[in-house]
């Protein structure tokens, strides 16, 4: 296919020139946003569903969730394969066939880059090979990092199954707030973020004999940072092996970075995939995907193969699954021309996969049922991290959801962006693993060439780095210029992230870590949250802030079933604390606790029991950490103003001032933002004059999620930002500028000062 060849050539020739890409990116994003304005209302809600506010209002929930069995105990019996079958399948994997050569090159070199087609057995086999080769003999472990939590869990489960051991014993996994390992664990799968944290505790990583950095081509922020750390670590620990696995892209770059480390390619065979572009631009890719999938299902025999659909996230995945079920039910009913409501979906298994799904549900994508067609609807996790066998048809929506940081205005937001050409080709390739396949692209060929980057921009070049820079400072890399980056972040992002760390008080005026900054680095939380927590211990409300922080770390607290929306909205409103969504979360938790953490109480009040349980679990882990770090746990009892003040302290740089009907102006950049209509703040009539918020989401509007009303005086106390204004006002007062005005309260003056500064855009 000549267009594919063109793409492959352009990938080969591609220079990761960020400035060019960035320019193209901002144009694309702008165009995309213009186009998005016209998107249907349905999609707008769909996008909101995946956000914290979506979680708060429980926009998307299925009743099944709460009834699901415990994800901690993946049911091995459920698995259809026998142990012998599994061993036989292992031996057929391309990686198995080159086992001895692979082990030899690893023995002879400290760093090896392993390249192989997705599904060749890199992730599941490498660690097992190393263990068999004796790398765990003197009690050391093999660590394998994954950029995604889902992959870490799923792969650990698979490897435990292949080795015939219980998950959490010899084979385990560790992701943030969830550690499924024990002293016996010798093969540990973890997110790259966990390994990065481990370097804080033990800079030599002594307990590992080998580290496999899997999916390195993904260029996740943490993987990139770990590369830099390893560059120094490897010379201090000559015995440590580093194995980097990657798809073809970037592999040469990694080799170069590690002093011409050898590349080892696992030979593998792939089958041709026919790509079919959409002839016209697609306005609603969820709808198109549903139509395409039903067409395939109805026109090709089930035995021809399964379908994999790429969507951007939980919301559109659930919408696609639901829509496809409805559509097929409708078609079947019509066919029978009875109009009966009977479900006829017994020839199809529609399975979602995204990170918030419980592990056992995720595992279902690997099971197959005879005489049924499997339709897996996934995020880009199925691009390379997970391999589902038997896929013949791929449907690609052409977008992914990315966290994008705008350093000019210092804002993080979630945006839908076109995927890169490399991703598009990777997605298509999923159809050709076991035989020739077809990939349906829900975008035009023009948009493939015009709207897509050749490769995805590494996360380090497009994300807020404040958390990472805090860690690096903590690790002693005081001079960031000298940090060995594979690709350095744009200077503007570094500066803006450092500025944010300075505004929260983690850095002093010389860019050195403050005492607060050191303490903040110890907590696996975003800087605003760790700051809030530390401040709370001094203000006497750390018990409460701990609960809030834990509740913010879990998805979906409120449950909103489709058929009982009104009822569940009323139930939710009963928990509202009118001045704060954060306090509303605290209220929910406190009442749940008062009801003995009961599951039936949750059901009665439309709350997600599992999410609350998880929040409780996170809370316990953070409590241990606080005790270890001598951070006192104190309760403010019924005084909720203290708590709000603490919330303000954490988010002082994310504040807004009421500037119209349910609109706020961002205090740092004047950006117009709306409080989500489901916020508790709408419960009490008038909106407060000043608020702080937890996160912002860019869709057709700038929505702010999780909002708390604050006193502007607190903003002055905590927001170094306003120091200039209050000073200027004093100066103006000294010059008699206010002499003719009637005496006003301090609060009014501040209000006025902020207003003037906003008008003049003088606030930094
Ligand atoms: O990492 P790589 O893409 O090279 O392959 P892998 O993830 O190790 O997958 C090797 C084989 O194991 C594939 O055939 C997968 O379908 C299978 N596998 C599985 O059955 N269940 C899992 N949870 C993971 C992999
Ligand atoms: Mg893999």
Task: Tell me the average pLDDT across 50-62.
Answer: 34
User: Bridge-partner residues for 211, per DSSP?
Assistant: 143, 242
Percentage, residues of the chain above pLDDT 90: 54
DSSP track, 631-652 = ------TT-HHHHHHHHHHHHT
Query: Burial code of 503-535, b = ≥16 C-beta within 10 A, e = fewer?
Result: bbbbbeeeeebbebbebbbbbbbbbbbbbbbbb
Q: Best mutation site among 147, 158, 214 for ligand 1, i.e. most ligand atoms within 8 A of its Cβ? A: 158
Residue 399 has pLDDT above 90, yes or no: yes
Q: Which helix (H) or strand (E) holds 276?
A: strand 273-277
Ligand 1 atom showing the smallest separation from residue 155 Cα: 23
| Six token digits for residue 422 | 């490399």
Q: How far is the CA of 429 from the centre of ligand 1 (A)?
A: 15
| Residue range 151-206, pLDDT digits in tens | 899 999 999 999 999 999 999 999 988 999 999 999 999 999 999 999 988 889 99
Give the integer Cα–Cα distance in Å for 272 and 268. Answer: 13
| Backbone angles phi and psi of 672, in degrees to 5 | -80, 130
Q: Are 194 and 225 in contact (CB under 8 A)?
A: no
Task: Tell me the average pLDDT across 574-597.
Answer: 96
Ligand 1 proximity of 268 Cβ (cutoff 6 Å): no
Ligand 1 proximity of 526 Cβ (cutoff 6 Å): no
Ligand 1 proximity of 118 Cβ (cutoff 6 Å): yes
Residue 1 has a pLDDT of: 45
Ligand 1 proximity of 668 Cβ (cutoff 6 Å): no
Ligand positioned closest to the Cα atom of 125: 1
Residue 384 has pLDDT above 70, yes or no: yes
| Residue range 521-548, pLDDT digits in tens | 989 898 889 999 999 999 999 999 999 9
| Residue range 436-460, pLDDT digits in tens | 999 999 999 999 999 999 988 999 9
DSSP track, 217-268 = GG--HHHHHHHHHHHHHHHH-TT-EEEEEE-STTHHHHHHHTTSPPEEEE--
Ligand 1 proximity of 426 Cβ (cutoff 6 Å): no
Ligand 1 atom showing the smallest separation from residue 121 Cα: 8
Contact residues for 121 (Cβ-Cβ < 8 A; gap 6+): 90, 93, 94, 95, 96, 266
Q: Are 306 and 392 in contact (CB under 8 A)?
A: yes
Residue 315 has a pLDDT of: 83
Q: What share of the chain is helix, strand, coil (3-state, %, to 5)?
A: 50, 15, 35
pLDDT band for position 743 (50/70/90)? very low
Q: How far is the CA of 214 from the centre of ligand 1 (A)?
A: 13
Residue 37 has pLDDT above 60, yes or no: no
| Residue range 20-32, pLDDT digits in tens | 333 333 333 333 3
Q: E-strand spans in 128-206?
A: 141-146, 171-175, 178-180, 187-191
| Backbone angles phi and psi of 679, in degrees to 5 | -65, 150
Residue 64 has a pLDDT of: 32
Contact residues for 301 (Cβ-Cβ < 8 A; gap 6+): none
Highest mean pLDDT among 79-83, 259-263, 568-572, 735-739: 259-263
| Residue range 624-633, pLDDT digits in tens | 999 999 999 9
Ligand 1 proximity of 217 Cβ (cutoff 6 Å): no
Q: Are 121 and 249 in contact (CB under 8 A)?
A: no
Residue 745 has a pLDDT of: 52
Give the integer Cα–Cα distance in Å for 134 and 352. Answer: 39
| Backbone angles phi and psi of 190, in degrees to 5 | -155, 165
| Residue range 332-366, pLDDT digits in tens | 888 776 655 544 678 899 999 987 776 677 778 88
Residue 667 has a pLDDT of: 85
| Residue range 105-133, pLDDT digits in tens | 999 999 999 999 888 999 999 999 999 99
Q: Are 384 and 249 in contact (CB under 8 A)?
A: no
Ligand positioned closest to the Cα atom of 121: 1
Ligand 1 atom showing the smallest separation from residue 116 Cα: 4
Ligand 1 proximity of 53 Cβ (cutoff 6 Å): no
Task: Tell me the average pLDDT across 708-725.
Answer: 72
Q: How far is the CA of 293 from the centre of ligand 1 (A)?
A: 24
Q: Best mutation site among 114, 119, 386, 433 for ligand 1, i.e. most ligand atoms within 8 A of its Cβ? A: 119
Ligand 1 atom showing the smallest separation from residue 95 Cα: 4
User: Bridge-partner residues for 212, per DSSP?
Assistant: 144, 243
Residue 661 has a pLDDT of: 80
Contact residues for 558 (Cβ-Cβ < 8 A; gap 6+): 55, 56, 57, 58, 568, 572, 606, 607, 608
Kindly provide the ipTM of the predicted complex, given to two decimals: 0.98
Query: Residue 4, class by beta-carbon neighbours within 10 Å (0-12 exposed, 13-18 middle, 19+ buried)?
Result: middle
CA atoms in the 13 A half-sphere facing the CB of 713: 5
Q: How far is the CA of 484 from the centre of ligand 2 (A)?
A: 26
Q: How far is the CA of 191 from the centre of ligand 2 (A)?
A: 13
Task: Tell me the average pLDDT across 642-651.
Answer: 94
Ligand 1 proximity of 119 Cβ (cutoff 6 Å): yes
Ligand positioned closest to the Cα atom of 122: 1
For the chain, what is the mean pLDDT? 82
Ligand 1 proximity of 389 Cβ (cutoff 6 Å): yes
Coil, strand or helix: which one is 329? helix
Instruction: Give one word for 210, left, alpha or beta, with left for phi > 0 and alpha for psi -120 to 50.
Output: beta
Residue 599 has a pLDDT of: 94
Give the integer Cα–Cα distance in Å for 160 and 75. Answer: 12
Q: How far is the CA of 275 from the centre of ligand 2 (A)?
A: 24
Residue 488 has pLDDT above 60, yes or no: yes
Q: How far is the CA of 379 from the centre of ligand 2 (A)?
A: 15
């Amino acid at each position: 296919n000549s267009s594919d060849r063109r793409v492959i050539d352009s990938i080969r020739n591609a220079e990761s020139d960020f400035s060019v890409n960035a320019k193209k990116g901002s144009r694309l994003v702008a165009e995309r946003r213009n186009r998005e304005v016209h998107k249907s209302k349905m999609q707008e809600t769909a996008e909101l569903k995946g956000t914290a506010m979506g979680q708060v209002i429980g926009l998307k929930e299925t009743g099944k969730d709460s009834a699901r069995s415990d994800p901690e105990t993946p049911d091995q019996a459920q698995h259809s394969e026998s142990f012998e079958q599994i061993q036989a399948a292992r031996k057929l994997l391309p990686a198995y066939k080159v086992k001895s050569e692979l082990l030899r090159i690893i023995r002879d070199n400290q760093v090896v880059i392993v390249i192989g087609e997705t599904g060749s057995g890199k992730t599941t086999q490498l660690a097992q090979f190393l263990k068999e080769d004796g790398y765990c003999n003197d009690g050391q472990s093999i660590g394998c990092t994954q950029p995604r939590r889902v992959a870490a869990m799923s792969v650990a489960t698979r490897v435990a199954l292949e080795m015939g051991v219980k998950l959490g014993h010899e084979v385990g996994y560790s992701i943030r707030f969830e550690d499924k390992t024990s002293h016996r664990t010798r093969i540990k799968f973890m997110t790259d973020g966990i390994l990065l944290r481990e370097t804080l505790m033990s800079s030599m990583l002594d307990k590992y004999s080998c580290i496999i950095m899997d999916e390195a081509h993904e260029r996740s922020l943490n993987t990139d940072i770990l590369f830099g750390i390893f560059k120094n670590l490897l010379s201090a620990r000559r015995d440590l092996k580093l194995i980097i696995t990657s798809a073809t892209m970037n592999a040469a770059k990694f080799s170069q970075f590690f002093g011409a480390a050898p590349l080892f390619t696992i030979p593998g065979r792939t089958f041709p995939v026919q790509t079919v572009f959409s002839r016209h631009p697609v306005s609603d890719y969820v709808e198109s995907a549903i139509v395409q999938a039903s067409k395939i299902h109805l026109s090709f025999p089930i035995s021809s193969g399964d379908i994999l659909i790429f969507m951007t996230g939980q919301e559109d995945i659930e919408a696609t699954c639901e829509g496809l079920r409805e559509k097929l039910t409708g078609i079947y009913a019509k066919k029978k021309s009875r109009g009966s409501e009977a479900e006829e979906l017994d020839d199809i298994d529609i399975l979602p996969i995204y990170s918030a799904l419980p592990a056992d549900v995720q595992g279902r994508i690997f099971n197959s049922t005879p005489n049924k067609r499997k339709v897996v609807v996934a995020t880009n996790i199925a691009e390379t991290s997970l391999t589902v066998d038997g896929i013949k048809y791929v449907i690609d929506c052409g977008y992914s959801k990315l966290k994008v940081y705008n350093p000019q205005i210092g804002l993080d937001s979630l945006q839908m962006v076109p995927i890169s050409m490399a991703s598009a080709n990777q997605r298509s390739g999923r159809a050709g693993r076991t035989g020739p396949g077809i990939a349906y692209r829900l975008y035009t060929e023009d948009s493939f060439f015009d709207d897509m980057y050749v490769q995805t921009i590494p996360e380090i070049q497009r994300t807020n780095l404040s958390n990472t820079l805090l860690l690096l400072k903590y690790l002693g890399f005081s001079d960031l210029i000298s940090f060995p980056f594979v690709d350095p972040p744009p200077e503007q992002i570094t500066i803006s992230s450092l500025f944010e760390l300075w505004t929260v008080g983690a850095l002093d005026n010389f860019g050195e870590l403050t005492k607060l900054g050191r303490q903040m680095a110890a907590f696996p939380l975003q800087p605003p949250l760790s700051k809030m927590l530390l401040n709370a211990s001094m203000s006497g409300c750390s018990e409460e802030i701990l609960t809030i922080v834990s509740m913010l770390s879990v998805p979906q607290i409120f449950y909103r079933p489709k058929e009982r929306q009104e009822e569940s909205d009323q139930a939710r409103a009963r928990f509202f604390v009118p001045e704060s969504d954060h306090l509303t979360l605290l209220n929910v938790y406190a009442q749940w606790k008062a009801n003995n953490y009961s599951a039936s109480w949750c059901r009665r009040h439309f709350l997600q029991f599992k999410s609350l349980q998880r929040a409780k679990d996170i809370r316990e882990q953070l409590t241990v950490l606080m005790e270890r770090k001598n951070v006192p746990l104190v309760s403010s009892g019924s005084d909720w103003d203290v708590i709000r003040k603490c919330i303000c302290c954490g988010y002082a740089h994310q504040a807004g001032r009421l500037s119209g009907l349910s609109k706020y102006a961002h205090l740092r950049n004047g950006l117009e933002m709306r409080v989500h209509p489901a916020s508790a703040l709408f419960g009490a009539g008038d909106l407060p004059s000043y608020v702080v918020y937890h996160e912002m989401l860019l869709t057709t509007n700038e929505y702010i999620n999780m909002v708390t009303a604050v006193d502007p005086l607190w903003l002055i106390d905590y927001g170094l930002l306003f120091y200039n204004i209050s000073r200027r006002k004093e100066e103006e007062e000294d010059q008699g500028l206010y002499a003719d005005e009637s005496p006003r309260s301090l609060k009014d003056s501040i209000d006025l000062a902020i207003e003037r500064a906003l008008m003049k855009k003088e606030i930094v």
